[in-house]
Amino acid sequence: MKTIFRSMGMAALILAGFSVVGAGLVAVTYTSTKDIIAKAQQAALETSLNQLVPADRYDNRVVEDAIEVVAPEWLGTNQPVTVYRARKNGQPVALFATPYAPDGYSGPIQLLIGVYADGTLAGVRVLAHKETPGLGDGIDEKRSPWILAFAGKSLENPPLERWKVKKDGGAFDQFTGATVTPRAVVKATRQFLEYVQTHQEALFVKAKG
């Protein structure tokens, strides 16, 4: 009996020892890569923001000038969405956010939308989607230039009632065999523009002072 407990204890000790050493190793790796990962993420974010608004149009650290907003009816998600603000000499230039188009063909589509302070679109990009390859994935900039057509558009151009795909009597192309996906993206973009228009001042409020 005693020997059984002895060997059980030994086995438990060995396992505990390995768990502690293993957790320690993971902790060391985590702390030594944490800053590099954060920097890489910021750099990736900056690169995609600069695709929409050229870096010489603003002079603040956009990735640090951010607020979080919750607006499910406008942004397609119950989760807080981060809004980044670009400024030059303290004046608002543009803002960026990553709202969702909740009614994609196979689940929500995450967008990155940039809007200039005057309400025109700097551009739209797709960050994450699960649309059908070869059909709905034309919204991805890598697959087709469709999404680039949003740049320069605003709620007046085309007029609000034409913010639809052509099949629904609007101004935006759909894809052959895929209407649901572009319809969802157009709707989400329009909603975001309306959200910015109605909340502009609040969205540009400075974080400090």
Partner 1 sequence: MIEVSYRQILQNGVWTQNTGLVALLGLCPLLATSNSVVNGLSLGLATTLVLLMCNVAISLIRPLVRPEVRIPVFVVVIACAVTAVELAMHAFLPGLYTVLGIFIPLIVTNCCVIGRAEAFAFKNGVAKSAVDGIATGLGFMLALVLLGAIREVLGQGTLFSQAELLFGEWGTSLTLHLIPDYRGFLLAILPPGAFIGLGCLIAIKNVIDARTQRQVAARPATALMTAGS
Residues of the shown chain interacting with partner 1 in the complex, contacts defined by CB under 8 A: 7, 10-12, 14-15, 18-19, 22-23, 25-26, 29-30, 33, 36-37, 40-41, 43-44, 133-134
Q: How far is the CB of 142 from partner 1 (least distance, A)?
A: 9
Question: Which residues, including other chains, have CB under 8 Å from residue 193's CB and lie 6 or more apart?
Answer: 115, 119, 121, 154, 155
> Which residue, 19 or 157, is less far from partner 1 as judged by CB?
19
> Which residue, 41 or 198, is less far from partner 1 as judged by CB?
41
Q: How far is the CB of 50 from partner 1 (least distance, A)?
A: 16
> Which residue, 37 or 160, is less far from partner 1 as judged by CB?
37
Q: Is 205 exposed, middle or buried (0-12, 13-18, 19+ CB in 10 A)?
A: exposed
> Which residue, 142 or 208, is less far from partner 1 as judged by CB?
142
Place of tokens 């188009």: 101
Q: How far is the CB of 74 from partner 1 (least distance, A)?
A: 27
Q: How far is the CB of 18 from partner 1 (least distance, A)?
A: 5
Q: Which two tokens stand for residue 143?
A: 């697959």
Angle at 112 between CA 115 and CA 128, to 5 degrees: 165
> Which residue, 17 or 152, is less far from partner 1 as judged by CB?
17
Contact 175, 98 (CB under 8 A): no
Question: Which residues, including other chains, have CB under 8 Å from residue 199's CB and lie 6 or more apart?
Answer: 71
Q: Which two tokens stand for residue 209?
A: 């002072």
Q: How far is the CB of 89 from partner 1 (least distance, A)?
A: 32
